[in-house]
Structure 1
Amino acid sequence: MTPALPRFSRRLLLAAGAASLSLAFALPAAAQETVKMGVVAAMSGQSAKSGEAIVRGLSLAIDEINAKGGVLGKKVELVVRDDESNPAKGVIAARELVQREKVVAYFGGVDTPVSMAIVPFANQSKVPFIGVWAAGTAITRNGSPENYVFRVSAVDALVDVALVDYAVKKYAAKKPGMILINNPWGESNEAGLKTALEAKKLPYAGIEKFETGDVDVVPQLTRLKDAGADALFLVANVAPSAQVVKSLDRMGWKVPVVSHWGPAGGRFTELAGPSAEKVHFIQTFSFSGNTSPKSVAVFEALKKKFPEIKTAADVTPAVGIANAYDAMHLTALAIAKAGSTEGPKLREGFYEIGSYDGLIKKYDKPFSKYNQDALSPSDYLFTYFKGDEILPLVN
């Protein structure tokens, strides 16, 4: 049975897809008056807040693009599909967007396994797929001679270097351990962490895996403790990350935890309890304490479009909003450069983007055929939860 969508997700789906529903009953000529963009993301389940953030960021950027005349003289509309964090459902959603909805590009999503499953279809169909969350290295570095996958998000291989650097600098770690989710995302970071540790000539205490549904990881953590781990690298999404924190509490083991950004994707503080605030994790953006004119303007626009947003704590996770917002604007620029929405021409348009003053940073030639990731390690920051708000850590 398909889980019922949370109330906010239903509202976002209705708002984002209203134009699509009306166009389904319009004449073919009218259907050509808009440019459709798609999104495949987790709009239900434990990662639904991440999906909500992605749709909010895309929607806000579309409002700005349409206010300036859209792309190629046509308004942009967004078609949303829920992948339920399921790779098979993600591929079905991607096929539906491309083959039935005729989107010119589509964005996704939260989970690396879902994005990895979509990559072959994206390259086969020659319709650009732009990642705005999932960080698996092989999503963009997929070996395709004609790569149609771009990303405005973190990249595991680069994140892992940052995690190791942080653990050494912040905690003087000499023998860290790894506690990784048992899926392609965990595998991606296992490889990256090994490489990053080897570069620093640091040993690791051990590598432990666990499943999304595990409610107790004390045995794995005990093995890491007995092996002398003086810090832990954590890679998992919200619910399993919370189980690691709760298991550490049951053990009474106060080891530093340096995490990928999985905890940011949902109700981490609610699920993990008070010790959630002890976990330091990576992000690409935060509204909290950010006084840049772009950040202030986007935050005000968010509050106006989504009245339930009152403070920075209400936009958690801000990284989903920021990545998606910049990705949509960069895609619009690529269309303008290409002068077309045809897949092969649009792909070339991404390589022709010059500069763009985005929310995360000022981009300068963000994509090339040799690097289809727009963000670099210098765009990462470390954060922690204070209540429900994600705050940047002062290094």
Structure 2
Amino acid sequence: MTKMLRRSLLQGAALALAFAGTATAQDKPAIKIGEINSYTALAAFTQPYRKGMELALAEINASGGVLGRKLEVVFRDDAFKPADALRHAEELVRSEKVDLLAGTFASSTGLAVAEFANQNKVLFVAAEPLTDAIVWDKGSRYVFRLRPSTHMQSAMLVEEAAKLPAKRWATVAPNYEYGTSFVAAFKKQLSAVRPDIVWVGEQWPAQGKLEAGPTVDALDAMKPEAIFNATFGPDLARFVREGNTRGLFEGRSVVSALTGEPEYMDPLKEETPNGWIVTGYPWQFDERPGQVTFREAYRKATGEHPRLGSLVGYVTIKSIAAGLAKAGSTDTEAMIKAMRGLELETPVGPVLWRAGDHQSTMGAYVGKTGLKDGNGVMVDWRYADGAKYLPPEAEAAKLRPADANK
């Protein structure tokens, strides 16, 4: 065999090995995320949420994925029903063989999936449910939560509500875990800084079934000077329309959770009430570099402006990807260890996933409702850093079950 032939054969073998290595890398199985959410029941939030997830997936996979593997999301619709959420969680883990679970919108479905994750030792990154229970009294070592909780958003709103002269307060909220926990947190925190407050009554409509006329009349009969509202979606639109018609809001202050989110304010258009204190998302006004980059990328990808759901979906996937990279594997214990204390940059600034209670420090925007060109907008807003509205990690850890932080 000549030297030239030997060299040629060796070069050919090396080239074949290189191609084989490339094929192996490309053929690695995807890292699978099982995503459960209320895609039909609450489409105004969850469809933009899904688009935000898909934008983050596209960016990550275009850059080579994570751990040399693509990220893949397997979507399931829970129809706002805990039983459906549980059924999907079981199927995703047993049949689809997902590496972790994510998502859920309602606090009730979030708690159901959290319990499943705890019992089956599966990592669950809860994106949207707001109840404090999911990381505190029903917390689990397998469950982490992204959005600022009812405790956190209540504290942000109370800072503004405490400045109002109103002493007589009434509340209205949907009668399930989110509503009851939000009202409880708001009442406790406002009373602590304003002991002169008198709570004159409550209304608890079923989620999605608010009877606006009777609800507005009942609140008006209580003669409050201010109202705390936690309704959202179509219930909020009905409440606002009937309240405007019947004069419920005239001469009264309103503090309203989530109302500044474009998912819920856009449909109100010219009916948007003026001057309500709200949490929300002034997507068109935040000119911080990270937010501008996200806004432009989302518009390019979807042809739409971002909603809060878009932001939450995007940060959820970015957080999972960062956690996987830090863990170095899809082993559940490695992912838990990596998520504890994980830090990453997001469109709204740095976010820390706290080790003490598995709550992220993602914040919320606080401001007032207003009108611009016939559309509802947030005015006089500020971004409230979530870290400032949480108890110290050591104290938060004591709010959790004894085995939650092992």
TM-score by length of 1: 0.80
8 Å CA contact 1:208–1:220 kept in 2: the answer is yes
- Give the counterpart of 1:350 among 339, 348, 363: 339
How far apart are the structure 2 equivalents of 1:385 and 1:41?
31
For 2:278, the equivalent position in structure 1 comes to 281
What SS does the corresponding residue of 2:181 show, helix, strand or coil? helix
Give the stretch that moved more between structures: 57-66 or 177-186. 57-66
How far apart are the structure 2 equivalents of 1:111 and 1:383?
25
Residue 118, structure 1, aligned to residue 113, structure 2: yes
Give the gaps of 5 or more residues in structure 2. Answer: 1-24, 383-406
For 1:372, the equivalent position in structure 2 comes to 358
For 1:3, the equivalent position in structure 2 comes to none
Residue 155, structure 1, aligned to residue 129, structure 2: no
8 Å CA contact 1:197–1:203 kept in 2: the answer is no
What SS does the corresponding residue of 2:309 show, helix, strand or coil? helix
Runs of 4+ residues over 6 Å off in structure 1: none
Give the gaps of 5 or more residues in structure 1. Answer: 1-28
% identical equivalent positions? 25
For 1:187, the equivalent position in structure 2 comes to 180
TM-score by length of 2: 0.78
Following superposition, the deviation at residue 97 of structure 1 comes to 2.0
How far apart are the structure 1 equivalents of 2:245 and 2:357?
44
Following superposition, the deviation at residue 265 of structure 1 comes to 6.9
Following superposition, the deviation at residue 174 of structure 1 comes to 2.1
Say if 1:257 and 1:162 are closer, same or farther in 2 by CA, change over 3 A. same
Q: Within 5 A, what are the aligned runs for 1:51-200? A: 51-144=46-139, 146-169=140-163, 171-200=164-193
8 Å CA contact 1:381–1:392 kept in 2: the answer is no
Residue 302, structure 1, aligned to residue 298, structure 2: yes
8 Å CA contact 2:127–2:312 kept in 1: the answer is yes
Following superposition, the deviation at residue 55 of structure 1 comes to 1.0
How far apart are the structure 1 equivalents of 2:58 and 2:269?
38
- Give the counterpart of 2:366 among 351, 374, 381: 381
8 Å CA contact 1:87–1:117 kept in 2: the answer is yes
Residue 34, structure 1, aligned to residue 23, structure 2: no
Residue 261, structure 1, aligned to residue 248, structure 2: no
8 Å CA contact 1:33–1:74 kept in 2: the answer is yes
Following superposition, the deviation at residue 44 of structure 1 comes to 1.2
For 1:209, the equivalent position in structure 2 comes to 204
Higher-Rg structure is 2
8 Å CA contact 1:211–1:240 kept in 2: the answer is no
Which letter maps to 1:324?
G
- Give the counterpart of 1:248 among 204, 224, 243: 243
Say if 1:125 and 1:263 are closer, same or farther in 2 by CA, change over 3 A. farther
Which letter maps to 2:283?
F
What SS does the corresponding residue of 1:130 show, helix, strand or coil? strand
How far apart are the structure 2 equivalents of 1:197 and 1:43?
34
Q: Within 5 A, what are the aligned runs for 1:216-227? A: 216-227=211-222
Aligned Cα root-mean-square deviation (Å)? 2.6
What SS does the corresponding residue of 2:178 show, helix, strand or coil? helix
1:131-152 CA distance string (max 9 Å, x none): 22221111222434x4222122
For 2:326, the equivalent position in structure 1 comes to 337
Say if 1:177 and 1:165 are closer, same or farther in 2 by CA, change over 3 A. farther
How far apart are the structure 2 equivalents of 1:134 and 1:122?
15
Say if 1:142 and 1:339 are closer, same or farther in 2 by CA, change over 3 A. farther
What SS does the corresponding residue of 2:173 show, helix, strand or coil? strand
> How many pairs were matched up?
351
8 Å CA contact 2:260–2:378 kept in 1: the answer is no
How far apart are the structure 2 equivalents of 1:129 and 1:60?
21
How far apart are the structure 2 equivalents of 1:77 and 1:41?
16
How far apart are the structure 2 equivalents of 1:383 and 1:152?
24
Say if 1:357 and 1:389 are closer, same or farther in 2 by CA, change over 3 A. farther
What SS does the corresponding residue of 1:210 show, helix, strand or coil? coil
How far apart are the structure 2 equivalents of 1:383 and 1:132?
25
8 Å CA contact 1:51–1:109 kept in 2: the answer is no
Following superposition, the deviation at residue 219 of structure 1 comes to 3.6
8 Å CA contact 1:238–1:264 kept in 2: the answer is no
What SS does the corresponding residue of 2:128 show, helix, strand or coil? coil
Following superposition, the deviation at residue 59 of structure 1 comes to 1.4
How far apart are the structure 2 equivalents of 1:357 and 1:346?
19
How far apart are the structure 1 equivalents of 2:229 and 2:34?
31
1:66-118 CA distance string (max 9 Å, x none): 22221111011121111222222122222222222222223212222221221
- Give the counterpart of 1:290 among 286, 295, 300: 286
Following superposition, the deviation at residue 192 of structure 1 comes to 0.7
Following superposition, the deviation at residue 185 of structure 1 comes to 1.2
Following superposition, the deviation at residue 269 of structure 1 comes to 4.8
Following superposition, the deviation at residue 156 of structure 1 comes to 0.4
What SS does the corresponding residue of 2:147 show, helix, strand or coil? coil
How far apart are the structure 2 equivalents of 1:216 and 1:258?
20
- Give the counterpart of 1:44 among 40, 44, 49: 40
How far apart are the structure 2 equivalents of 1:193 and 1:50?
23
For 2:349, the equivalent position in structure 1 comes to 361
What SS does the corresponding residue of 1:260 show, helix, strand or coil? strand
